[in-house]
Structure 1
Amino acid sequence: MAANSNRHTVNCPDCTTDISRRSFLRTAAAGGLAGSLATLTPRLHAAPTSSSPAETAVGEFYASLSDSQKAKICFPFNHKLQQKISANWHVTDPVIGDDFYSDSQRAIIDQIVKGLTSEEGYERLIRQMEEDDGGLNFYSCALFGDPQQGKFEWELTGRHLTMRADGNSVDKAAFGGPIVYGHGESDPSDNIYHYQTRQANKVFQALDPQQAKLALQDNAPRETNVQLRGSDAPFAGISGSALSDDQKQLVTETLQVLLAPYRQADIAEVMAILEQIGGVDALHMAFYKQGDLNSDKTWDIWRIEGPRFVWHFRGAPHVHAYINISA
C-alpha cells in the first residue's frame, strides 16, 4: 500500500506561469561562429538512446502498465500536454504515491530518475522534491508515444521540476526538450542550487570594469522567455568572444558545474550542440541587478544565452531555472 499521497497544494504564487513547449522550440537558422570548448570535446552526435539506462527503465515501466493505467497517463507522441512547460504543474492527475501505481512501478520510476541524473544530482533532486512538495510521491508522470514501437518521451513534473527521458526521440534537443528545476527556499544559504549562482558570479568577478559594465543589466527578462532565437538575435550581456582565455575557461568551468547533476549522455549532447554553434565564443553571459538577495552584489539572476542555447537562472525570491538547448 502506498503512503498517503493525496495531492496537496503548495502556495507558490510566482510558480504558476507556463508557456507552450512549441514556443520554446521556435528557432532561427544559426550562422557560422568560431570558438572552442576548452577541455570539453564530446562526440558531435552524442545523445541518449533507447537503450540508455533511463530509457530502458521507461520501456519496463510502459510494459508494466495496465490498459486502465495507460488510459490515464499515456498519450500520442507530440500530444498537447507534451508541449506545456511550467515551474509548478502536474502533467497527469495521478501522483506517484497514489494506489494508482504499484510498488514495483514506483521503484521503476525511481530508476528512471536515477538514470537521468548523476549520483550527486540524484541526491540533490530527491532533497529538492522532499523540501518543496513532500517527495517524489507527490510528483506526476506521463508517457508520450510507445517505447516498444517508435518515438517516445517519459516526463516527470511537479513543483519546481520538469524532466524528460526520450532516447533522442526529440531530434537534436538536449534533455529531450526544455526542462525546469528549482527550489523553494529563499535564503541563499539554504537553497540547494545557490552554489550555481556562486559559480556563475566567479565569471562576473573576473571581468574588468568595462566588461562588467557590459555584463550587468538592470532588469531580467521573463524567466519563461527562453525560446531559441538564432545567430542574428541580439543577446544581452557580454559575448564569450570578448573574454580572455582565462575568462573563457571560467565559463567552461561554470558550464561543467551547471551540467554536473545530469547523466553523461545528456551532458555530451549539450556540449556537442554548443560545439556546433561555436562554443563559448557564441555565448553571452548577463547578470541582473534585479533581485539582489541580501544586497551583496552576488547577482542572483543570471542568464547564459546563444543561438541554440538558453540557461536562465532566477535565484530571487527563490530558484526557478529554465533550460532550452537544441541544435
Structure 2
Amino acid sequence: MSNPKEIKKRILSIDSVIKTTEAMKMISIVKLRKSKELLLHTKKYSESIEQLFQHFMFSWNEKLENIQDNKYFFSSGKNKLFIVITSNRGLCGAFNSLIFDKIHRHIQENGYLKNDCIFFSIGKKGFDFLSRKYNMYENKKKIPNNFTYEYKDVIILIKKLIKDFLSKKFNSIYLIYNKLKTSLFQQIIIEQFLPIIFHENESSKKSSNYSILEPSKEEILDYIIPKFLSVKLFKSLLESSTSEHTARMMSMHKATESASDIKKNLMLNYNKERQTSITKEILEIISGLEALSETN
C-alpha cells in the first residue's frame, strides 16, 4: 500500500491535469465555433464561384478537348504533388495518424512509385512525418511552420502551384485532408486539385446558352481559375481546421473523464490508507494504556 502523503501528491497532480484538459477543451470549443462560422460563409462563397465557373464553361460552345487554351484541364508527365493538411500541434487523437495511413494505402493501391510522389504539408506534424519518408516540395520548413489559415497565404501558394503545374513540373496535384462528417466521425478526403475535373450540370448548361463574354474567354479563364482554386483550397483548410478542433475537444473531454476516474480511485485509496493509519494509531494508544495499567 502507498503512503497517504504520496497518494495526496498524486491527487494534487491529477487535479492540475483536469484543470489543464478542461481549459484546452474550452479553448477548442471557442475555436471550433469560429471555424464553423467561417466555413459556413466560405461554403456559400465557394458554391457561387463554382456555379459561375460552370456557367462560364458551358458558355463555351466547343468541346473541352477542342479548346485551344486547355492547359488547366489536361497535363503530361509523371510527378504527382500531394498537398497534405495536418495540424501544427498534437493532443488531437488520431487526427494526423489517419491521414498518414490513408496516404500509405493510397500510394500502394494505385501503384505509384515513391520517387514520383512529392508532398507538401500544411502543418508541422505532417512535415515532420512526411519529410522522413518521402520527397518534399522545394519549400523547407518556412511555409509549413508559418502558413496560416488566411486567404492571402492561400493566394500566394496557388500562384506558385499553378506556375509549377503549367511548366509541367507536376502531372497532377491532389488535396488530402480531414472532413468532419459528424462530431464522432471524420472522413479522409483525397481529391484531385489539378488538372481540373469538370462535371457537367444541366441547370448550368441551360442557363448559359445566351452568355456574352467580355473580354476574351482565355483572359476570363486565366482570371477565374486561380480564384476558383484558391477558394477550393481555403475551404479544404477550414474543413481540416474544424475537424482538428473537434478531435482535440473530444480528446480533452475523454482525458478529463479518465483523469476524474483516476482521481476517484486515488481518493478511495487515500481514505482507506488514512483510516488504516488512524486505526493503527488508536490500537497503539490502547495497547499503551493497557501496558500502563498492568504496571500500576
TM range (shorter): under 0.3
Query: Which fold has the larger relative contact order, with Cα–Cα distance below 8 Å and residues 6 or more apart in sequence?
Result: 2
Larger of the two Rg values belongs to structure: 2
TM-score (norm. length: structure 2): 0.27
Scaled by the length of structure 1, the TM-score of the pair is 0.25
Higher strand share goes to which structure? 1
